[in-house]
Amino acid sequence: MKRRSGARVSRIIYFYLAVIFALCLAVQVFLAGYAIFVDPVKWDYHTTFVKIFEYVPIFMLIVSFLGRLPASMRWLSFSLFLLIMLMYATASLTSQAPIAGAFHPVAALLIFWLSIAITRKAWRLAYQPAGVQEV
């Protein structure tokens, strides 16, 4: 019984990490918009804030093993981390290849969409009773 409750706690932790990550993404987009439309001097907020949450997907990956989540959830967590690394690449390559900068917001949309999908799946795995189907 302890094993099962430990896995459930890990699934709940995974869910909350996913929520935190999605909320951080929303803040990150707000900071980019603030720097673009209000005060360009605040661009450092956008570039610094990511350093606070960029490793959350790695923590999610670790917790996914503890919670015995499906392999797809592990891959999705790892994919989030890889996409964050892609964001760094698109930002740093912009000076050599300006087109790379155009992919930066597209990658951000992909990360946000993926994080919402992960959060929804994580909620079902943590809180939805077995055998109950979502409508």
- Each residue of 43-86: pLDDT tens digit? 999 999 999 999 999 999 999 999 999 999 999 999 999 999 99
Tell whether 134 is covered by a domain: no
Each residue's pLDDT tens digit, 12-53: 999 999 999 999 999 999 999 999 999 999 999 999 999 999
Highest mean pLDDT: which range of 80-84, 100-104, 127-131: 80-84
Angle in degrees, CA 2, 55, 109, rounded to 5: 110
The number of folded domains in the chain is 1
pLDDT class for 128, splitting at 50, 70, 90? Answer: confident
Tell whether 135 is covered by a domain: no
**8-state DSSP, 134:** P
How much is the pTM?
0.88
Tell whether 132 is covered by a domain: no
Q: What is the rounded CA–CA span in Å between residue 74 and residue 53?
A: 18
Q: What is the rounded CA–CA span in Å between residue 40 and residue 67?
A: 43
CA 20 from chain centre, in angstroms, equals 8
CATH of residue 110's domain is: 1.20.120
Each residue's pLDDT tens digit, 104-125: 999 999 999 999 999 999 999 9
Tell whether 56 is covered by a domain: yes
Q: What is the pLDDT of residue 100?
A: 84
Tell whether 114 is covered by a domain: yes
Full domain range(s) for residue 104? 2-127
